[in-house]
Structure 1
């Protein structure tokens, strides 16, 4: 679904990614792990078009999208949930969802579908998003992205700073979405167990380079933890 091929990217004179290559399987999950500063968020910014690579290519379903703007990538089926449980804090949960849904002809149905995935949000529709817990805001952020009916979802640290019970719900939702087909996920994550349970493929990023990769699953945990310990 997504190919990142030999990408170099950075900010100003600083190069953050040094020839990174990876792929996201169709209807599956690829996980990118690494310590803070490894370049994981920069990689997602390149994927969604917020940062142009200096060299290399980004391809979506075989199409070269390297020079496309973010809104053009969204129109092709990409959705991005950045780090930090982002929402509009002074708007209610429902108003946050409507900001995305009202521009769609199937907006009401899209909201209902997103709420079916995160049913805990139904009781919070009238509450201001700024008053939600971190886990609830993260569910809201993912629900908003799913309203666009993406074929590729980019998730940046979705479990950061949230309680284990919500981590489990997010994991189950991601697995359910990919199992029913039509959605691929590029997951940036530091929670190794969660990432490997969700992912078909994993990549370990260190100082802007892929230092380890392989098939996901519990059998890969030792290899990943060893790579992260270096």
Structure 2
């Protein structure tokens, strides 16, 4: 579904990724793990077009999108949920979702389907997003992305900084999305157990390079923890 091949990218004169290659399987999950500063968020920003690589190629369904702008990638079925539980704080939960749904052929149905995945948001439909808890805002951010009915979803540490009960709900939702098919996921995550339960492939980044990779699943968890402990 998504192929990131030998990508080099950075900020100004500082190179962050040094020839990174990652593949996301069709209807599957690839997890990227690593310590803070390893280049994980930079990789997602390059994949979605917010950063332009100085080398390498990004392909979506075999099409070279390396020079495509972010809105063109979204039109091709890509959705990105960055860190930080982002939402429009002065709009209500319902307005945040409707803003994404407007103009879409299945907008109303897509909102309903997203709320089915995050039923707690229904009771919060009239509350401003700025008054939601961090976990509720993260659920809203995920729901907004799903309203676009993406073919590939890029998630940047969706469980970071939120209460354990909501972490469990988000983990269950991501696992359910992966299991039902029709959607590929590139997951950046610190929780190794969750990432290995969800992913068919994993990649460990260190200082902007892939230092370990392999098949996901519970059997890989020990190898990933050892790679991260180095």
TM-score tier (shorter)? over 0.9
What per-residue deviation string (whole Å, max 9, x for no partner) do you get for residues 7-51 of structure 1? 000011100000000100110100000011000000000000000
Normalising to structure 1: TM-score of the pair?
Answer: 0.98
Runs of 4+ residues over 6 Å off in structure 1: none
Is there any run of 5+ residues in structure 1 with no aligned partner, and where? none
Structure 1 residue matching 2:154: 3-state secondary structure: strand
In 2, distance between residues paired with 1:200 and 1:162? 25
1:63 and 2:54 aligned = no
- Runs (5+) with no aligned partner, structure 2: none
Q: Partners in 2 of 1:103 and 1:39 — Cα distance?
A: 35
Match for residue 8 of structure 1? 8
* Residue aligning to 1:22: 22
What is the number of equivalent residue pairs in this alignment? 230
Q: TM-score, normalised by structure 2?
A: 0.98
- For residue 20 of structure 2, give the secondary structure of its aligned residue in structure 1: strand
| Contact 2:178–2:198 under 8 Å retained in 1 | no
How far apart are 1:178 and its partner, in Å? 2.0
Distance 1:181 1:60 in 2: 17
Q: How far did 1:217 drift?
A: 1.4
Q: Confirm or deny: 8 A CA contact 2:199 2:216 kept in the other structure.
A: yes
* CA deviations over 1:46-79 (Å, ceiling 9, x no partner): 0000000000000001111101000000000000
1:137 aligned partner: 137
Aligned Cα RMSD in Å? 0.8
Distance 1:5 1:62 in 2: 12
The equivalent residue for 2:220 is 220
